Amino acid sequence: MNGIPIQLKQVTEIRDGARKEIVVIEANGLYYLKGDATYVTFEETHEGETIKNVVKIANDEVVVLRSGVISMRHTFRKQSETIGTYESPVARWEIKTKTEQVLYQYNEKTKKGQLFFSYILHLSGKHVGRHAVTISFKEAKK
């Protein structure tokens, strides 16, 4: 798959009651269109291990596929509850999300894109807070 090289920043804000955590990932990746969907791919490192991420964006839906030391397959659909799995070397969990918002925009002139989605997360039946994810990317300079 030939993609356009991009520089990407993913910011995840997690709120659980009074607790707030922000996780930032900066990476180089690829951006491409296939059918009516946009794909963004990048790798992140977690405790020295590589995790491949594929984010598919279509209409009011985001599909996140992660593979490597952590694997996950989950669909976030605006105003819907969806069920997926999250697997780490330690265990495998069922994840259930209630997605509140999915917003995606791409500016052809500036070659910049931004995806925002927020959801309430339940891990193995336990409420673990509200997550807001923003993925910003721009075409890498040649």
Q: Per-residue pLDDT tens for 114-133?
A: 999 999 999 888 998 999 99
Q: What pLDDT, on a 0 to 100 scale, did the predictor assign at position 75?
A: 97
- Structurally, the chain folds into a number of domains equal to 1
Contact 40, 28 (CB under 8 A): no
What is the arithmetic mean of pLDDT over 75-99?
95
Question: Is-contact 139 5, C-beta < 8 A?
Answer: yes
| CATH code: domain of residue 110 | 2.40.128.20
Residues pairing with 138 in the sheet: 7, 112
Domain range for 52 is 4-139
Q: Cβ atoms within 10 A of the Cβ of 10, count?
A: 21
Angstrom distances, CA of residue 62 to CA of 76, 104, 110: 5, 10, 23
> Which residues neighbour 119 within 8 Å (Cβ) at sequence distance 6 or greater?
76, 97, 98, 99, 100, 130, 131
pLDDT above 90 (res 46): no
Per-residue pLDDT at 2 = 75
The predicted model scores a pTM of 0.92
Residue 66 has pLDDT above 90, yes or no: yes
Predicted local confidence at residue 69, as pLDDT: 92
Q: Find the mean pLDDT for residues 63-85.
A: 96
Predicted pLDDT at 142: 67
What is the 3-state secondary structure of 110-124?
A: CCEEEEEEEEEEEEC
Choose between 113 and 123: higher pLDDT: 113
